[in-house]
Chain A
Amino acid sequence: MPRIYLDHASSMPVDSRVFEFAKPYLRESWGNPSSLHSVGLEAKRAVEESRGKIAEFIHAENESTIIFTGGATEANNLAVKGAALRNITKGKAVIASTIEHMSVLNPMKELQKNGFSLTMLPVDSTGIVDLKKLDSILTKDTVLSSVMYANNEIGTIEPIKDISKIVHEKGGFLHVDAVAAGGRVPIDVQNEGIDLLTLSSNDLYGPPGAGVLYVKPGVKIQSVLLGGGQERGLRSGTENVFALVGMGEAARIAQQEMKQESSRLLPIRDKFIKEILQIDQSYLTGHPTLRLPHHASFRFSFIEGESILLNMDMYGIQVSTGSACSSKTLEPSHVLLAIGLKHEEAHGSMVLTLGRSTSMEDVPVVSKATNETVQRLRRLSPMSQEWRN
């Protein structure tokens, strides 16, 4: 059975060009960039070159704005805690949108436990943040607001430039989690007025285990991981040279190919949406047009997402879901609740994230499998019978 992998938001294969490029740093140039001898310097040079590629990728002012971390979760923690704690004398208020990733929300909640006031910024039913509300909840004490570039579960792209304008009128910093958006839509930190930006290596077809926090020149943050003082003292720990070098190369390739790849995926995604919405009582989640080009997310009434996922896997198709049954906490996805879905509506969610392996030929296969899956599970469900009667 051929495999159709449509869960690129969870994990992506490392691009073979990236692997070839970074491979020598595992076995040939395995130096520690902190060492002053030639073996160390070789590794250091490669890491610095990678930093430059990533700076270019997001149009940063210079390469020293790029702080490497061990992944996006760490970068989000560093942004939230690092910025809030470093600027505590300016105020003790923070803002996060209700659809942020847990690696933003949980550090925010920890700040709250430690005396910060946290205000949640709501979104509408398509997932777009409420700009008027943002304006009204910002105070002179707000040191940090965090709004993601695009959401990983519903694909909605936020109006970052407008958000940045509103935030900066009051004087706080804006952090943007761009994990889902990176490599999918062009990002320009200077033009869009972003102070802190998170990227993930694997989401660019780079090696897992690397992430980046961009820190705008002049923005002061403090470290959350203490040690030997690597990364300008902001992220201690010996560099994972292979992953960092790979991430830079992945960013370079993404920059080169993004436009072409996104315009290739867009019609495929639209066809997926068109076909799957033929199913009775099926709905698109997220924004119909302001959405990532590789992202199609749905919900189906009367059925549950983990069963959808398992059933699709039997067809060789890998998808994801935000259902309560599939989560470690047995809570439905906070994102689906934030866009106003009821618990049982959030239950029947299915997310498709396309990638380089996706082609137009996949559309009829996946649509048919989805239809059969939904029909089968509905036959098992007491809810759908009530609806038919």
Chain B
Amino acid sequence: MANVGYSKKVMEHFMNPHNVGVIEHPDGYGKVGNPVCGDVMEIFIKVKDDIITDIKFRTFGCGSAIATSSMVTELAKGKHVDEAVKITRGDVANELDGLPAQKMHCSNLAADALHEAIKDYKNKKQMK
């Protein structure tokens, strides 16, 4: 049925997104706005010995924005922060079996939010 050309995987993550919510007192927090269409995404991380032990997100956006947020949290979970920071929008889109061309910018948003959260974690760590 109608899915605007979204893959099955995108629809699965849209309907049942993983890691939704908020972490109180996160070790890192990233929030980004989508300059293209005006949407907002935020990511919270909990980090132990530089490993991302918990991650949560919230997104105000389209189906693909929700699916890419869900996917990026899945990819980052359990990873070393230096590994997680290398996750690109291309990785996210590939894991979702691709995104329609006009929706690639949404996957930027997800990767950017993750990178912001890791940056925030590193800044905080330095301050300690």
Q: Judging by beta carbons under 8 Å apart, are A310 and B58 in contact?
A: no
Question: Nearest Cβ distance between residue A2 and chain B, in whole angstroms?
Answer: 13
Q: A231 within 8 Å of B by Cβ?
A: no
Q: Judging by beta carbons under 8 Å apart, are B2 and A344 in contact?
A: no
Interface 1/0 per residue, A232-255 and B, CB below 8 Å: 000000000000000000000000
Residue ID in chain B nearest A379 by CB atoms: B20
Q: Which of B30-38, B77-85, B91-99, B120-128 sits within the interface?
A: B30-38
Size of B's binding interface in residues, CB under 8 A: 30
Interface centre among A304, A325, A332, A385 (most CB of B within 10 A): A325
Known: A314-B15, A347-B38. A326 touches B2 (CB 8 A): no
Q: Judging by beta carbons under 8 Å apart, are A328 and B102 in contact?
A: yes
Q: Judging by beta carbons under 8 Å apart, are B60 and A381 in contact?
A: yes
Interface centre among A303, A306, A311, A343 (most CB of B within 10 A): A306
In the complex, what residues of B have CB within 8 A of residue A313's CB? 1-3
Q: B72 within 8 Å of A by Cβ?
A: no
A112 to B63 alpha-carbon distance, docked (Å): 37
In the complex, what residues of B have CB within 8 A of residue A218's CB? none
Q: Judging by beta carbons under 8 Å apart, are A304 and B14 in contact?
A: no
Q: B22 within 8 Å of A by Cβ?
A: yes
Q: How many contacts between A and B, using CB within 8 angstroms? A: 70
A147 to B59 alpha-carbon distance, docked (Å): 38
A347 to B40 alpha-carbon distance, docked (Å): 12
Size of A's binding interface in residues, CB under 8 A: 26
Q: Judging by beta carbons under 8 Å apart, are B4 and A302 in contact?
A: no
In the complex, what residues of B have CB within 8 A of residue A311's CB? 15
Interface 1/0 per residue, B5-22 and A, CB below 8 Å: 010000100110100101
Residue ID in chain B nearest A347 by CB atoms: B38
Interface centre among B3, B40, B42, B61 (most CB of A within 10 A): B61
Q: Judging by beta carbons under 8 Å apart, are A381 and B62 in contact?
A: no
Residue ID in chain A nearest B11 by CB atoms: A310
A323 to B63 alpha-carbon distance, docked (Å): 12
Task: Give the top 5 A-B pairs by smallest Cβ distance, nearest first.
Answer: A325-B62, A306-B62, A382-B58, A324-B37, A381-B60
9 residue pairs from A and B, CB less than 8 Å apart: A302-B60, A306-B4, A307-B14, A310-B3, A325-B37, A328-B102, A330-B36, A382-B42, A385-B58
- Chain B residues in the interface with A (C-beta under 8 A): 1-4, 6, 11, 14-15, 17, 20, 22, 31, 36-42, 58-63, 65-66, 102, 105-106
